[in-house]
Amino acid sequence: MPAIEEHAPASILDQDLYKFCMQQAVLQHYPAVDAEYRFVNRDPSIQFNREAFEWLQERISGMAELRATSNDLDYLRSACPFFSAEYIAYLSEFRYNPSTEVACSLDEDLGSLSLRVSGNWTRIILYEVPLLAMIAEAHYRFVDVDWNYEGQRAKIAAKGEILARAGCKFAEFGTRRRRSFMTQDIVMSELSQIKSSGGGIAGTSNVYLARKYGVPPVGTIGHEWIMGIAALENTYKSADRLALLKWQQTYGSRLTVALADTFGTRVFFASFDRELAGTYNSVRHDSGDPLAFAQAVCEHYTELGMDLSTKRIVFSDSLTPEIAIGIKSKCDSYGIGCSFGIGTNFTNDFNLASNPAQAGTALNIVIKLFRCGGKPCVKLSDDRTKYTGDVDEVKRAQSELAEFY
């Protein structure tokens, strides 16, 4: 078993697969478009101090040194055959330029962090996940320090065994919310050892750890792809369909998981016709009631005359093993396949060191596409607390989509 690493590796592959996938799609379809991303802390009670901020700034500056090595590129060619030779060549020359692309500041009176990423969309699309991981680690290094690693191996092993015994197929999705790289490394060390004929680990979103532990790198479309296309093509009603068609142009019959909630599942289903439902073998749930979503998906496929046994739902919203098992039971009753992407519950589930009976606090932070091609971007979701973007543009989107609400 590979040794646990205490510190994050200086590797461009310490990144979620879907970001590379979206970078290739943006490079093909919108190579000259500029964009802007903004950090959102959904829990204002979570604060940052000067030490955390300075450590974060140093880590952000260090991103300028990251580059894909020949071994990295060889691994991507082998593990991810959907990446074109042209994209691999692009990635071989890719460099972060945080001095011009990332602006970060701290309001010490409020303890609030502001962060903005701007520049060419293809170039800046890779920042989100590593920045979120750094922000989380800064908080847990210098602000919320009442925790340790005691019991973490046993805790994660127990979670994996529970899921596997229940027949759940799951992936580790915890890069962006991890307390530290070491946390995620411990998680993957334990999960990769679980063997089960029915359930078990299907992979990890983190490419570096997928290579380290010999499991598949996995990922799906992100909301930003659909949000950006809605802005650039000036449509909310047709954005889901356009995004899926353009994705298909890039990936063909590979990476066929459709994300359903960017502007709400009712909007999505209006575009997800028989043609797209035949091309995409899975849909992903990321907000709202998962059981209601499963029922709606099955009803939609049935209306289209689709065989549910050939389809799958990927669930990835605030999951625990117990929630996943309950969802699987419902999906089994419908006769549709399911799998699970679990993040925070794997890489940020700690108890206080001073009081092991009390659970610690997990961050609820995101970095969302705010502007694309000079136009505002929004996400409506099936959960109003997850709405993001310019307030006036959210209202405009709701007005255009009023018939679905």
Average pLDDT over residues 36-47: 94
Q: CB–CB of 359/242 below 8 Å?
A: no
**Confidence band for 153, pLDDT divided at 50, 70 and 90:** very high
Instruction: Please name which of 6, 117, 15 lies closest in space to residue 68, comparing C-alpha atoms.
Output: 15
**Least confident interval from 41-45, 195-199, 229-233:** 195-199
Phi-psi category of residue 168: left, alpha or beta, with phi > 0 → left and psi -120 to 50 → alpha? beta
DSSP-derived pairing of the beta strands 257-259 and 34-41 = unpaired
pLDDT at 321 over 80: yes
Give residue 388's pLDDT.
87
How much is the pTM? Answer: 0.97
Q: CB–CB of 288/382 below 8 Å?
A: yes
Q: Which residue has the tokens 């209006």?
A: 270
Give residue 386's pLDDT.
80
The pLDDT tens digits of the residues spanning 61-89 come to 999 999 999 999 999 999 999 999 999 99
Amino acid at 330: K
| Cα–Cα distance measured from residue 222 to residue 219, given in angstroms and rounded to the nearest whole number | 9
One DSSP character per residue, 135-191 reads HHHHHHHHT------TTHHHHHHHHHHHHHHTT-EEEE--GGG-S-HHHHHHHHHHH
Give residue 383's pLDDT.
80
pLDDT at 167 over 90: yes
**Least confident interval from 134-148, 189-203, 268-282, 298-312:** 189-203
pLDDT at 348 over 80: yes
Q: Which residues of 48-71 are buried (b: 16+ CB within 10 A; e: fewer)?
A: beeebbeebbebbeebeebebeee
Percent pLDDT > 90 in the chain is 95
From residue 384, give the alpha-carbon distance in Å to each of 37, 288, 380, 387, 394.
Answer: 20, 9, 7, 5, 11
The pLDDT tens digits of the residues spanning 114-134 come to 999 999 999 999 999 999 999
Longest alpha-carbon distance in the chain: 59
